[in-house]
Structure 1
Amino acid sequence: MTSSYHRFINGLTASHGLPQPRKPAPAVEISLHFHDQANRRPGFVLRTSNRSKLCVVKAAGQGGVWRRSEGGKEGAADKVGPCSYAVGDVVEKRKSSEDRRMEVVIAAAVTVVMGVGNRVLYKLALVPLKQYPFFLAQLATFGYVVVYFSILYIRYHAGIVTDEMLSMPKGPFLFVGLLEAVAAATGMAAGAILSGVSIPILSQTFLVWQILLSVIFLGRRYKVNQLLGCFLVAIGVIITVASGSSAGHSLKEAGIFWSLLMIFSFLLQAADTVLKVEIIFLDAAERLKGGSVDLFVVNSYASAFQAVFICLLLPFLSKLWGIPFSQLPNYLRDGAACFLNIGTLSSGCDGAPLLPLLFILVNMGFNISLLHLLKISSAVVSSLASTFSVPISIYVFTLPLPYLGVASSLPTSFVAGAIVLVLGLLIYAWTPRNVSSTSACSSSTE
């Protein structure tokens, strides 16, 4: 017990700028002591080996203080000396740090689960809408605007969203919407040419862009173990996705232009997340005086501006999907009939509208959980959580899922890739703890 308190007190001195001893300090004796006998409030007595000084740490109540007495007399502890320090604040900080770390872990786990569900349900949703993928994309885009603003309206009247949050400058949201719209357009253009195997491989450049943009614009500095962990995560995903496939040949066959266009799409997505951290969240903390902007404020306005730019890009997007712009109204009408599973066009639309609706709901939950994780951690952590869902999704597709027919077998190299990925996550999360050997109370005389 004594050694653990030594480490606790030594850590306080090093990390919070307490006065450092001008000469080697004597050993500190720690004993349990009832400082207030009337109320039986416990405290800890820290006494130097020569008993010339005494520090009493009040454990009861908030804002406990360090006090010093001369000659080992506890009665003289009313005079605040050089050892004075607000212990309650430090203990509260440590508890808050542990709670925040646990919150990040839970948020990351939820993001991984939602990410897996998002990838699997997207494939299932395209079973009934296999002829109308463009309709599903537009339904999700404009559906988000309605749902997000409806939730925002409810939260505003519940007092969760304030007028100060709604009055934030809309310029950053407009830029976020533009980035998301252009990223979707370029991603859809490249995705129409590239194979399904090559897209997850190229998506690992997203993690690289996250790190580079975080260093440039957020001023973040990453340790060697974090960079190594990110590298191993990317390698692990590439191994799991490319196992047993001709991914390299597929990339070569598609051509360098479409590969670069897909990489550019992920650059825009990475810039989008960094923009949310650097401008929106940090600006909100300053404007709200340390407060936090509600996630639905960000999602609602970003989705609204994205929908606006999607409308402006409709001629371009329809051409990417091979739909003449003049025939777009008929295409959307037929897609709606298949989605609702009604009329003569509903043949082959089994599973609608349940599967598409499930995908939209889970995709919405994934976006919210990813944005929440981004808000409480960093862009790289949120990217790692999203990346971790890729091999799990591949494994889920080996299970007998409805509407997908016979399940595919799991390649043997998948396990090797998964091991590399998990190892990368562990290396990234590992943080060595440095224990200071500095003494808590200076024994030098004034």
Structure 2
Amino acid sequence: MYKLALVPMREYPFFLAQVNTFGYVAIYFSILYVRRRAGVVTNEMMSLPKWRFAVIGMLEALGVVSGMYAAAMLPGPAIPILNQTFLLWQLGFSALVLGRRYSWNKIAGCLLVAAGVVTAIASGSESGQMLSGVGLLWPIMMVVSSAFQAGATIIKEYVFIDAITHLKGKLLDIFVVNSFGSGFQALFVLLFLPFLSNLKGIPFHELPSYVKSGAGCFLNNSSGCDGSPLLPLLYVVNNIAFNISVLNLVKISSAVVSSLAIVLSVPTTIYILSLPLPYVPEGVTLSPFFLFGSVILVLGLILYNVPQRISSNSNSKHGPGSDSDLDAM
């Protein structure tokens, strides 16, 4: 749905990013309100410093907008592959910010992920490359968007760890972080609009017209926007439902199960995105190199995730690491 939503909204990724972000704000704050009324979220949780949530929101806003710009220009199967560089960024930022040290299993898993990305994207003859004719800007932008998202998750993890001290050992509710993080994300997507719009050559004084045109395209009141509003709305609804279902999966089972579910979704996503789809009838031929690289990537993800999840899960299903893992999903 991410790729299909960008078919009618190809020229308006900012507008789609803002619609998606406000959807998160509405859902998360509604859940936070219910949990606040039920006493799950306490006054102490609500009084935590908000500047950290602002940093999270800023990084996520940059990640969403840059990722949407790149996704609109990339072939579908390349998107989930490039997004897996998230793991590499997360490993590096975790070591830098949190001072974490990783076992050879995790390092080997990350190296396999990197090898899988390189094999899938860059191998083969020029005519058979997945990114042939696309140029370097858009794949680099997608990788950078993963860096922004990874940075946000590391700061979230830091917030969870630090909150244990302020809350006297009690764990911070994940919806406090998600709600305020999403709220600031919506704000920063709006604030970054003048600066980031230069990537599409939109002058500042034309932004109101751009937003109006984006709304018209979203509502299918403009030419060349076939598929709206159904495809963008389906993307927003599916995106929110997916993240909530992952959170619920962790709650009712374990972080291991949720991690494996996401890992196994990668090859499925790649295959689906290679098929002829509504509004994207041409499809993409997957080369042997791409398939081989995808296998390497999934093996790397499994090698990295399984030992980590089992380790944290064996100590305590609802320990400090559990909340940060859940939120990072």
TM-score range, shorter chain: 0.7 to 0.9
Asked if 1:337 is matched to 2:220, the reply is no
The root-mean-square deviation of aligned C-alpha atoms, in Å, is: 3.8
Q: Distance in 1 between matches of 2:108 and 2:123?
A: 22
Asked if 1:305 is matched to 2:181, the reply is no
Q: 1:319 Cα deviation (Å)? A: 1.9
Q: In the alignment, which residue of structure 2 is the partner of 1:352?
A: 228
Asked if 1:235 is matched to 2:118, the reply is no
Where 2:274 maps in the other structure, the secondary structure is coil
Q: 1:206 Cα deviation (Å)? A: 3.0
Residues 167 and 126 of structure 1, relative CA distance in 2, 3 Å threshold: same
Which ranges of structure 1 fall in alignment gaps of 5 or more residues? 1-120, 434-446
1:37-436 aligned within 5 A: 121-184=1-64, 191=70, 196=75, 203-242=83-122, 245-246=128-129, 254=136, 264-278=144-158, 280-341=159-220, 343=221, 345=222, 347-368=223-244, 389-428=265-304
Where 1:397 maps in the other structure, the secondary structure is helix
8 Å contact 1:235–1:421 — kept in the other structure? yes
Q: Distance in 2 between matches of 1:296 and 1:237?
A: 33
Aligned AA (2:182): S
TM-score between the two structures when normalised by the length of structure 2: 0.74
8 Å contact 2:60–2:148 — kept in the other structure? yes
Aligned AA (1:354): L
* Most deviating of 164-173 and 235-244: 235-244
Residues 377 and 331 of structure 1, relative CA distance in 2, 3 Å threshold: same
Q: Distance in 2 between matches of 1:248 and 1:395?
A: 16
Q: Distance in 2 between matches of 1:293 and 1:334?
A: 41
Aligned AA (1:308): L
Which ranges of structure 2 fall in alignment gaps of 5 or more residues? 311-329
Q: 1:260 Cα deviation (Å)? A: 6.5
Q: 1:173 Cα deviation (Å)? A: 0.6
Structure that is richer in strand per residue = 1
Aligned AA (1:313): F
Residues 365 and 291 of structure 1, relative CA distance in 2, 3 Å threshold: farther
Aligned AA (1:290): G
Residues 201 and 238 of structure 1, relative CA distance in 2, 3 Å threshold: farther
Q: 1:309 Cα deviation (Å)? A: 2.4
Q: Distance in 2 between matches of 1:370 and 1:151?
A: 15
Q: 1:294 Cα deviation (Å)? A: 2.4
* Most deviating of 403-412 and 422-431: 422-431
Residues 365 and 321 of structure 1, relative CA distance in 2, 3 Å threshold: farther
Q: In the alignment, which residue of structure 1 is the partner of 2:315?
A: none
Where 2:7 maps in the other structure, the secondary structure is coil
Identical counterparts, % of pairs:
51
Q: Distance in 1 between matches of 2:11 and 2:72?
A: 17
